[in-house]
Amino acid sequence: MSSTVFVSYSSVDASLANSIYNYLNQHGIRALKAPEDIRPGQDWASSIAAMIDNATHMVLIWTSGSMASKEVAKELTLAMQSNTVIIPFQVEDLAPAGAWRYHLANLHWLQAHNTDHNTACQSLLEQIKGIQPAAKPVPTKRGTKGAGALIALMISFGVLLLNLLALVVGVWFGLSQPILQNGIATLIGTVYRAIPPLSMGLYVAALVLAITSLVRHRGNKTQAIWSIVLTAVQLLAYGVGAATGILPR
């Protein structure tokens, strides 16, 4: 597996970073760093994140400047999230402090402060070739397990529209029935009477989905509650409509 190395550094150490970057590229290792590998017009932050995601290793040039850099800290966090092999390249005899102690505690440091630069770069090259990177995490695909509340809400709205349509058709049918031909009147009446049982089935489906979403803490809680409320109001309206004869029983 070929290695791709992201070079993380503080801006005060740009000259040293350029030297390591050029050395790795000249010796068959694909090195990446900002700003060289960010195209004009590209978003800086997303480009760096993409480079780290695609890298097998990250060389962290460790100096007082990098320890004080918030950007280097962000790059380290992204590398840890991506299972990127992190190699601290210690240029100064400086122990990590604060959160750095935690993040760098279990890493093997390359001591570059007590040897010449070429020897340190050669050791870095050997270390990169000798450490096999771990498998990159596979992005989790978004499924439909949390969509129950939204589906329930959509069903509730759909049934509401269906019953409003039934109400309009019922009023129109009552006024127009005397002048309609028998076949058309029968067809409309059949469709009209089929709406309530269909609505009841959809009511049950919406309630089951919404309540399941609430109980299992899946999906949007607000959507589930709105679905239950909307369905309950429609059931009440349906009961009143059926009792008064506006809707068929």
Specify whether 119 is located in the same domain as 17. Answer: yes
240, 229 contact by CB (below 8 A): no
Same domain, 168 and 103: no
| Tens of each residue's pLDDT in the chain, 249 residues | 588 999 999 999 999 999 999 999 999 999 999 999 998 888 999 999 999 999 999 999 999 999 999 999 999 999 999 989 999 999 999 999 999 999 998 888 999 988 899 999 999 999 998 887 666 665 544 444 456 666 766 777 676 676 666 666 655 555 455 544 555 555 555 655 666 666 666 666 766 777 777 676 666 778 778 777 777 776 776 667 666 665 555
Q: Which amino acid is at 213?
A: S
The pLDDT value given to residue 167? 62
Predicted TM-score (pTM) of this structure? 0.54
Q: Are residues 71 and 19 in the same domain?
A: yes
Q: Is residue 125 located within the same domain as residue 56?
A: yes
The total number of structural domains in the chain stands at 2
Residue 16 is assigned to a structural domain of this protein: yes
Q: What integer pLDDT is reported at residue 231 of this predicted model?
A: 73
The answer to whether residues 117 and 178 belong to one domain is: no
Q: What is the CATH number for 120?
A: 3.40.50.10140
For 98, left (φ over 0), alpha (ψ -120 to 50), or beta?
A: left
- Which residue, among 194, 203, 186, has the nearest Cα to 247 in the 3D structure? 194
The pLDDT value recorded for residue 188 is: 52
The residue count of the chain comes to 249
Task: Tell me if 63 is assigned to some domain.
Answer: yes
Instruction: Report the pLDDT value the prediction gives residue 144, as an integer from 0 to 100.
Output: 44
| Inside any domain, residue 139 | no
**126/150 same-domain check:** no
Please give the Cα distance from 232 to 65 (Å, whole number): 63
d(CA 134, CA 82): 9
Range of the domain at 67: 4-130
Q: Residue 100: what pLDDT?
A: 93
Cα dihedral value 197, 202, 204, 208, nearest 10: 170
